Structure 1
Amino acid sequence: MNALIIEDEKLVALELIDTIAEVDPSIKILATVGSVKTALRWFAENAEPDVIFADIQLADGISFTIFEKFHLSCPIIFTTAYNEYAIQAFKVNGIDYLLKPVDWKELRKAIAKARSLLKKQGNLPLDIQKLIDALGDSSLPKTTFKEYFLGSARNSWVPVKISEIAYFTRDQLIFLVTATGERYILEYNTLDEIETLLNPKQFYRVNRQCIVNRDAVQSVKGLANLKLNLKLKAPNHPFDIEISRDKAPSFKKWLEK
């Protein structure tokens, strides 16, 4: 099975190639393209592959633009760092999606699904326009995010506006910390629960213990082994936050949006 990778982060692309090789060594990677422009040129000069692994948000646009120009019949496995509600539409027409960093077990399932579809149908009839229309369909339920959290401090409840929150952290209990340094306890059991209530364009889960607001970021420094060191604006955080090698590419892309 021949595959094309559409991914603008070189490190992520290399990791995906390695993971695909481990999961299914029989898959041949024909090429890796890193932008809408280069992908359009590639499809203009080459026959379509058996399967495509495509990031959604590229440096020069979104990958749907590619599929508007070229109506392909091969299955596409979308990869993304964002778990927004509209992503559910990617299940239309047998399209699958994987959240970054890509889990090899989920990748194996997606590849098996693509193989099954190709074997049963020869080619997967893919209506990309239907997917695009679904994403923009105003009749679909809209994602709503929290505007306030009710925090507890000194036996009092305080409504805290989402824009005033610098970060959420877990230290036995779940806390939110405001841009001015106030710290409140939240009645949630996990940061996973908090994460589903936040706009992913504004908040990012940097590690297991912390979700940060983009507006609270002061600086980011590269470390050894491709890790990142995140410093928040004072008085938000008394210590620096380390971001793993796996999360570093998607975090940098999130900061630029």
Structure 2
Amino acid sequence: MHILIIEDEKRNFNRLKRLLEEIDGTFRIDGPLASIVEAVEWLQAHPAPELIFADIRLSDGLSFDVLRRTAVPSPVIFTTAYDEYAIQAFKYNSFDYLLKPVKADELAAAMEKVRRASSPQTNGEEVRQLLEYMRQSNYRYRERFLLPYRDGYISVQVKDISHIALDERNTLLCLNNGTSETVPYSLDELESQLNPDVFFRANRQYLIHIDSILSINNWFNSRLKIRLKKYPDVEIIVSRERAAELKGWLDR
């Protein structure tokens, strides 16, 4: 079986690839494709794979847009950190999904489901409906984090977060009071848990709170540079591809 993996975090790709190879060592696996642009270009240049694994949140948007732009006939299994309401949408629209971190037994069950499906290809209208659902539904986004602290726990309110940063192997909640707390989630997972009207994925390293922005300036090659109110020494560069989305996010 020829499998394509659309995923923008190498460690998630490596884990999924390893689990798939444990199921069947003959699988031919391509990837990772880390963005909508990269995935669309690959699918337009190659024969359709027999199965696609797609992370919902990519560096430049939602992976549903890949399916809309290419009308790919392959069955798709999404990897996601969305809540139960989104899961109901997947079931309703006949898509399969795996919650991160992907577990071996759940992956095996999903692969068996693909093998047994009589007509596993995706449907363009289903893609459109699912994309619309994900964008319009009233999700119960995360409002706080309960984190270990000394011999107990502390509760961190989402409203108190300036930005979230990837620091080597750690994901840090950088708070408005100047302190930071480590959380056991990837930026992809946090992006799907937090309200997209409030938090913006600036690049691979940063999620920023809308109220934390001090200034936005033009930068080289049509990029943008963000300065933060509580962290004036932090400069966040937004790519040319993401710049238009940032402007739209702020201008509504």
TM bin, normalised by shorter chain, reads: 0.5 to 0.7
Cα deviation code 1:79-118 (max 9, x no counterpart): 123326234222245321112111222111111111111x
- TM normalised by structure 2 equals 0.61
Match of residue 71 from structure 2:
71
Name stretches of at least 5 consecutive residues in structure 1 with no aligned partner.
148-161, 178-210
Match of residue 183 from structure 2:
243
Counting aligned pairs with the same residue, the percent is 30
Picking from 115, 129, 135, the partner of 1:133 is: 129
Q: Following the alignment from structure 2 to structure 1, what is the Cα–Cα distance between the partners of residues 46 and 127?
A: 24
* Superposed displacement of residue 229, structure 1: 5.2
Assess, with a 3 A threshold, how the Cα gap between structure 1 residues 167 and 7 changes in structure 2: closer, same or farther: closer
Name stretches of at least 5 consecutive residues in structure 2 with no aligned partner.
193-205, 209-252
Assess, with a 3 A threshold, how the Cα gap between structure 1 residues 249 and 105 changes in structure 2: closer, same or farther: farther
Cα deviation code 1:9-42 (max 9, x no counterpart): 2222122212222233232103321111111111
Matches within 5 A, 1:224-243: 226-228=169-171, 230=173, 232-234=175-177, 241-243=181-183
Match of residue 50 from structure 1:
50
Cα deviation code 1:46-105 (max 9, x no counterpart): 111110000112111211212112223321000123326234222245321112111222
**Does residue 216 in structure 1 map to residue 161 in structure 2?**
yes
Assess, with a 3 A threshold, how the Cα gap between structure 1 residues 2 and 92 changes in structure 2: closer, same or farther: farther
Q: Following the alignment from structure 2 to structure 1, what is the Cα–Cα distance between the partners of residues 129 and 77?
A: 18
Match of residue 106 from structure 2:
106
**Contact 2:10 2:32 (C-alpha < 8 Å) held by counterparts:** no
- TM normalised by structure 1 equals 0.60
Residue aligned with 1:133, SS: helix
**Contact 2:163 2:207 (C-alpha < 8 Å) held by counterparts:** no
Assess, with a 3 A threshold, how the Cα gap between structure 1 residues 253 and 63 changes in structure 2: closer, same or farther: same
Q: Which has the larger radius of gyration?
A: 1
**Contact 1:90 1:131 (C-alpha < 8 Å) held by counterparts:** no
Q: Following the alignment from structure 1 to structure 2, what is the Cα–Cα distance between the partners of residues 146 and 228?
A: 19
Match of residue 6 from structure 1:
6
* Superposed displacement of residue 249, structure 1: 4.6
Q: Following the alignment from structure 1 to structure 2, what is the Cα–Cα distance between the partners of residues 60 and 218?
A: 18
Match of residue 207 from structure 2:
256
The number of aligned residues is 192
